[in-house]
Amino acid sequence: MNIVVLAGGLSPERDVSLSSAALIANSLIRSGNRVALIDIYFDLPDDYQPNFSCVPDFEYTISEHEPDLDAIIRANNNSVSLIGKNVLKQCEAADVSFIALHGSMGENGQLQATLDNYGIRYTGSGFIGCLLSMDKDISKRLMRDAGIKTAEWRLYDAADCDPSSVIRDIGMPCVVKPCSCGSSVGISIVNNESELATALSLAFKYEKTLLIERMIPGREFSVGILNGAALPPIEIIPLKGFYDYKNKYQNGLTREICPADLSDKQTSDLQRAAMSVHKILRLGSYSRIDFIMDRVSGEFICLEANALPGMTPLSLLPREAAAAGIDYDSLCEIIVSAACNRTE
């Protein structure tokens, strides 16, 4: 098949996307496909002809820090369009588009709705699932209403958020998050009022709406969903601090144990909860659901859902798939096949 891998874009998770995309493109070529890897934000020339490669030589390394989006905008003539000129033309020439974007328009449903309008077939969840899962406030409301346990939270806008109101409403310790970012971008764990002011300032750099939730000490787990089945849970143990952007994507900073050291009942309960969240949020052929096991109660508390889990060398979903006997190339082929068989 001819496959376009869409990556990059104007998102704080841009580098994660490009790293995922490089591995995905190489994998699809090894499986006999012809691939074009495209940074969705940049224009293609008017005379550009669809160009699909058979050589698996894509490579990208994630730095310790998020990319400078202002510099990227300047490099693209200050373009305000999130989809570069002629990019959709390349997608129309392909059999399927593999969405390797993370965050922003790639994961909040905007891109999926656009591709739907052009009749372009694509991988992963549809625009409704992406929208519901990317907005942490909406997803937590849906989970709570369905009986899925999630940490107590409040939503704050830049105009009405100050440390004293957070302390009054949520208390300490707490977790400060941009409402619709992934990859732990802009997230801080806060233990006192002086840390809170710094955390708010950091999070507001990325969004004007923040979600602040009560901190639940415990063990952190993630469960991938693939084609209607839950994969083996993975436990995440940062060697220092919490599972932030640096610890996620720099080698050797986090231990991941898969299958996680849980009893059969705990594993079953966790997988069942993950599947429930996947269905509640109307996610597609694959996703990843994150949890904390409350240190006091032993209950699994859902943190959030990921409509487009990372596919980098250090990402969790490929490790969970491997524990289920599915290698990286097979995982990519399964995702593509699900897109080709989707009928909605």
pLDDT, tens digit, 9 for 90 and up, residues 187-241: 888 988 888 988 888 888 888 889 999 999 999 999 999 999 999 999 999 776 5
Query: Which two tokens mark 176?
Result: 């400060």
Predicted confidence at residue 158, as pLDDT, reads 75
Q: Collapsing DSSP states into helix, strand and coil, what is residue 257? A: strand
Q: Estimate to the nearest angstrom the gap between the alpha carbon of 198 and the chain centroid.
A: 25
Q: Over the range 125-135, which residues count as b (16 or more CB within 10 Å of their CB) and which as e?
A: bbbebbbbbbb
Strands (E), the chain: 2-7, 34-39, 96-99, 153-157, 174-178, 188-190, 209-214, 218-226, 229-230, 234-238, 254-257, 286-294, 300-306
Q: How many Å apart are CA 283 and CA 174, to the nearest integer? A: 28
Query: CB within 8 A of 65, min separation 6: which ones?
Result: 245, 246
Query: CB within 8 A of 85, min separation 6: which ones?
Result: 43, 44, 46
Helix-helix angle 127-134:136-145, to 10 degrees: 90
CATH class name, domain 2-122: alpha beta
Which residues of the chain fall short of a pLDDT of 50?
243-245, 247, 249
Are the beta carbons of 91 and 4 closer than 8 angstroms?
yes
Q: How many Å apart are CA 148 and CA 19, to the nearest integer? A: 33
Candidates 98, 80, 82; CA nearest to 90 is 98
Overall fold of domain 153-214: Dna Ligase; domain 1 (3.30.1490)
The full set of domain ranges for the chain reads: 2-122, 133-150+217-331, 153-214
Cα dihedral 52, 112, 39, 243, rounded to 10, equals -120
Predicted confidence at residue 247, as pLDDT, reads 46
Predicted confidence at residue 244, as pLDDT, reads 45
Q: How many Å apart are CA 17 and CA 133, to the nearest integer? A: 18
Predicted confidence at residue 279, as pLDDT, reads 98
Q: How many Å apart are CA 104 and CA 111, to the nearest integer? A: 9
Backbone phi and psi for residue 258, each to the nearest 5 degrees, phi listed first: -145, 125
Predicted confidence at residue 243, as pLDDT, reads 46
Q: How many Å apart are CA 334 and CA 133, to the nearest integer? A: 22
Neighbouring C-beta atoms of residue 205, cutoff 10 Å: 12
Are the beta carbons of 64 and 247 closer than 8 angstroms?
no
Predicted confidence at residue 332, as pLDDT, reads 97
Catalytically annotated residues: 13, 183, 249, 288, 290, 304, 306, 310
Predicted confidence at residue 245, as pLDDT, reads 46
What CATH superfamily is the domain 133-150+217-331?
Answer: ATP-grasp fold, B domain (3.30.470.20)
pLDDT digits (tens, 9 = 90+) for 302-331: 999 999 998 987 889 999 999 999 999 999
Average pLDDT score over the chain:
90
